[in-house]
Amino acid sequence: MKETRFVAVCIVFVTFAFIIQLNMVSININSKYTDMAEKQQYKKMVIDDSRGIITDINFNNITNTITNYKTLVTAYDTDLQDVFNALTDNEKSVFDDNIKYYKNFIAEVKYPIKNRYLYPTTQRYSDFNIAQHLVGYIDSTGNGVSGMEKIFNDQLKEANKVRTLRANVNGYGEIISKEEQIEGKQSNLLALTVDNTIQRMCEGIAKEYIPNGSIIVMECKTGKIKAMVSTPFYNANNVSLALKQDYSPLLNKALQSYEAGSVIKPLWASVYLENGYNKDKKYECTGTIEVNGHEYHCANNTAHGEINMEEALKVSCNCYFINAEIENKEFYFRQMAKNINFGDALYLTRDYKTTSGYFPTLEELDNIGQLSSISFGQGRMLLSPIHVAAYMNIFANNGIYVYPQVAQGIYNADNKELITNLYEYNQKQIISEKTAETVKNMLRTVVEEGAMGRACPEHLSAGGKTGTAQTGRYNDNGTEILNAWFCGFYPFDNPKYTICIMMHNGGESTYTAAPIFKKICDSLYYII
């Protein structure tokens, strides 16, 4: 009897334990599937995952200036035809697959749809984005290909906020509720040294008058580039089209090197003055000069008569600068040219740089023919507009050479707090203040009395020099391609900006580049 009771108790205990264990397994299984169900309840969709914006020095946007709109689309929407009609072409291409598989997705629309909530976003580039050659562009993966987009790709991609939509859906994929969220760290902002007002003004002038070339406006004291323009322009939203256009639209002409011509003559003047040459010494120009059996000419074989240095600059006399007698002329000029970085790449920020161009060696300048050609800006010499602007700036800046810069810093986009300073002031004294002042005054005469007065501003005065450079290349009609330059500073008293204009195949600079200099100065008058 006792044994029977014991067995019965054991059976009851085992049964009870089994039931408890079974319940525990059931609870665990239910908990597992509950967790899975909860995970399936929420779907996260990205509304906006943009790069850090690029601005001018005053934090005015250069990129992300266009507002676009997106909307949430589901297979259960009753207005799918209206939605489809409003989608961009890219969104239309994936629309059918998303709807077929009952996917909820965020899509960009070209215009508002009645009774639909829209999420505002920004487009990276407008079709007419300013400073496009300096800014550059990104590829389909969102990585920088050129310009600042490439140089600062990592900084612009990292530490950016992401706007997402967190949707609560049922087992059929229908949205029960949704919430917009911000994820990620702070957004970065890259501020350049350019000024949007000056940049837009120069682009407007370039669009009208410079089909192939560049404009540089540099702040005299700091070396900060306030405008960098290259033509022709291109659409960063359709880069493939630019590959089919003439004059290489994707190439930044401000960084490329070209034949310079007479824009180099003020540098020769400073070399002569620094080495004791008398600026008032007269020279009789007959329009031609023979050196070692080779005959050199002034433009159009013009005989300028008896002239001194200031007059030679004003009329751009080639013969004067070839003839100027100074011992070791080639050595001093080579030394001066190296001091202002001719023949070397100029780094404008990090790895963003000009081409090196070319400047003759001393051995090459020992050739009297090469030296004679270089004396009026021809021969084996190639310079970028950045090089020319930086060199001309020494006359506006008391003989001090300031290295050009294009980037100000990386900032917190929310509070504009500086994260990384990019601007570095770097300068060196190239010529004496006395020499700089003397040449500066000569360049004022060039503007006011030379180039037929075409470079002279309406308000205040300026200094500068024309340059018409032979290239040795010819058009289909047999006419030689000439590079037209004008580089100078404005206003004359206490100069604020150095301006460089380069027009590839621009013809005679007196008639093309000089009037553009005047237009820029007249516009800057209302800004300074």
Burial (CB count within 10 angstroms: exposed 0-12, middle 13-18, buried 19+), residue 67: exposed
Say how far apart CA 182 and CA 163 lie, in whole Å.
5
In sequence order, the 6+-apart residues with CB closer than 8 A to the CB of 412 are 186, 187, 188, 189, 419
What three-state secondary structure class fits 1? coil
What three-state secondary structure class fits 12? helix
* Helices 265-274/385-396 angle, 10° precision: 40
The verdict on whether omega for the bond into residue 232 sits within 30 degrees of 0, i.e. cis, is: yes
> Which two structure tokens, joined as six digits, stand for 69?
């709109």
User: What is the pLDDT tens value at each position of the chain, 528 positions in all?
Assistant: 445 554 454 454 445 544 445 444 444 444 444 444 444 577 888 888 778 999 999 999 999 999 999 999 988 888 999 999 999 888 898 898 888 888 888 889 999 888 888 889 888 999 889 999 999 999 988 899 999 999 999 999 876 678 888 888 877 777 878 788 887 767 889 999 999 999 999 999 999 999 999 999 999 999 999 999 999 999 999 998 998 899 999 999 999 999 999 999 999 999 999 999 999 999 999 999 999 888 999 988 899 999 999 999 999 999 999 998 888 999 999 999 999 999 999 999 999 999 999 999 999 998 898 999 999 989 989 999 999 999 999 999 999 999 999 999 999 998 999 999 999 999 999 999 999 999 999 999 999 999 989 999 999 999 999 999 999 899 888 889 999 999 999 999 999 999 999 999 999 999 999 999 999 999 999 998
CA triple 54-59-65, angle to 5 deg: 55
Say how far apart CA 318 and CA 438 lie, in whole Å.
20
SS (H, E, C) 55-71: ECCCCCECCCCEEEEEE
Q: What is the pLDDT of residue 148?
A: 98
Q: What is the pLDDT of residue 141?
A: 86
Provide Rg for the chain, Cα atoms. Answer: 34
pTM for the structure as a whole: 0.87
Q: What is the pLDDT of residue 200?
A: 98
Residue 525: closest CA among 484, 493, 486: 493
CA triple 443-452-378, angle to 5 deg: 60
> For residue 413, which amino acid is it?
A
Say how far apart CA 309 and CA 330 lie, in whole Å.
19
Q: What is the pLDDT of residue 223?
A: 98
Q: If you search the block for the tokens 């496009």, which residue do you land on? A: 132
Q: What is the pLDDT of residue 32?
A: 45
Q: If you search the block for the tokens 């100065």, which residue do you land on? A: 521
Say how far apart CA 292 and CA 516 lie, in whole Å.
39
In sequence order, the 6+-apart residues with CB closer than 8 A to the CB of 157 are 51, 52, 142, 143
402 Rama sector, left if φ>0, alpha if ψ -120 to 50, beta otherwise: beta
Say how far apart CA 361 and CA 358 lie, in whole Å.
9
Partners of 285 in the β-ladder: 305
Say how far apart CA 357 and CA 47 lie, in whole Å.
46
In sequence order, the 6+-apart residues with CB closer than 8 A to the CB of 44 are 164, 165, 166, 167
460 Rama sector, left if φ>0, alpha if ψ -120 to 50, beta otherwise: left
> Which two structure tokens, joined as six digits, stand for 164?
């997402």
Q: What is the pLDDT of residue 103?
A: 85
* 278 CB neighbour count, 10 Å cutoff: 10
